[in-house]
Amino acid sequence: MIPKLLFGRTGHLSTRTLFGAAALGGVTQAEADRTLDLLLEYGVNHIDTAASYGEAELRVGPWMPRYRKQFFLATKTGKRTYAEAKEEFHRSLERLQVDSVDLIQLHALIDPEEWKTAMGPGGALEALIEAREQGLVRFIGVTGHEISIAAMHQLSLHRFDFDSVLLPYNYLLMQNLVYAAGFETVVKICQARNVAVQTIKGLTRRRWEGRPQTRATWYEPLEEQADVDLAVHWVLGRPGVFLNTVGDIHVLPQVLDAASRFEQRPSDEEMQALVARQEMKPMFW
């Protein structure tokens, strides 16, 4: 089974691989149900979805009447104003077929102007705080991609006491000294406050760059089991962080298999060999 870790201050013991439900955005309900069986097989107990993930919330919804108590359920809003975020969040509750979720996150909060709107008077953060006061959600987080997100998360954590953050983390990205320094600062703040750190893009090989897109992910993922093992074990080799699984249900089995066999972090030499062998390129620069 996959190891578990306290998800920050929430008190929930989440599997270190969180199910990234973006993988359900474009699949049938039958495919989604088979994915649920796989999650249950590996003991995954944390679902991370978003209003903008296609039909993902609609695919998770039919699971909830029976399995709600077995999962820490998280979703996200990409809206920036109070009214829009409130409306989208309530729509998410309906789509997910639940009365409440465990975590609501400000999604992809990267742009400085959007940040000012979301964090300011009449902004989305006010809607999330209100939802928490109403018992519709227990915890509030913030997410983002791109190189600049480590710096933006620092601003967000200074502005509000978030319960979780989500940002990219993989071997190649951490060779970028600027990003690596920012990531370490974010983690240091989170450790001091007992804030959960979720990581994404752990299986990134490179952008598609004109090649035929054969997976649901907007980047080309690693797929060979030995390569997936290295990438997953490298992320899990860092204590205290969670790995959000890949956004394609057909690669998901390799990720869960790798996570279930985690023992130790690969060496720098092993990771450098992987980068060279798979001609890996940074996703963000």
Q: What is the model's pTM?
A: 0.97
Using a pLDDT cut of 90, give the percent of the chain over it: 94
CA 256/CA 244 separation, integer angstroms: 11
- Structure tokens that stand for 89 in this block: 């969040």
Confidence of residue 234 (pLDDT cuts 50, 70, 90): very high
CA 96/CA 15 separation, integer angstroms: 21
CA 39/CA 88 separation, integer angstroms: 27
Q: How far is CA 189 from CA 119, 143, 144, 146, in A?
A: 19, 15, 17, 20
Exposure b/e, 129-149, CB count within 10 A at least 16 = b: eebbeeebbbbbbbbbebbbb
Is residue 285 pLDDT above 90, yes or no?
no
170 in helix, strand or coil?
coil
pLDDT of residue 284: 75
pLDDT of residue 1: 83
**pLDDT per residue as tens digits for the range 147-156:** 999 999 999 9
Q: Which CATH superfamily is domain 4-277 in?
A: NADP-dependent oxidoreductase domain (3.20.20.100)
* Cβ-based neighbours of 264, under 8 Å, separated by 6 or more: 233, 237
In this prediction, residues 83-100 reach a mean pLDDT of 98
Where in the chain are the domains? 4-277
Farthest CA pair distance, the chain = 52
Q: How far is CA 132 from CA 20, 47, 89, 168, in A?
A: 23, 19, 12, 27
In this prediction, residues 182-204 reach a mean pLDDT of 98
CA 249/CA 37 separation, integer angstroms: 12
CA 229/CA 71 separation, integer angstroms: 25
Using a pLDDT cut of 70, give the percent of the chain over it: 100
In this prediction, residues 205-234 reach a mean pLDDT of 93
Mean of pLDDT over the chain:
97
CB neighbours (10 Å) of residue 30?
A: 8
In this prediction, residues 24-31 reach a mean pLDDT of 98
**Burial of 15 per CB tally in 10 Å (0-12, 13-18, 19+):** buried
Among candidate residues 125, 143, 47, the one with its CA nearest the CA of residue 89: 125
- Structure tokens that stand for 238 in this block: 């860092």
**pLDDT per residue as tens digits for the range 246-263:** 999 999 999 999 999 999
Among candidate residues 129, 73, 124, the one with its CA nearest the CA of residue 98: 73
- Are residues 161 and 126 in contact, defined by beta-carbon separation less than 8 angstroms? no
Confidence of residue 216 (pLDDT cuts 50, 70, 90): confident
In this prediction, residues 90-114 reach a mean pLDDT of 98
**pLDDT per residue as tens digits for the range 54-70:** 999 999 999 999 999 99
164 in helix, strand or coil?
strand
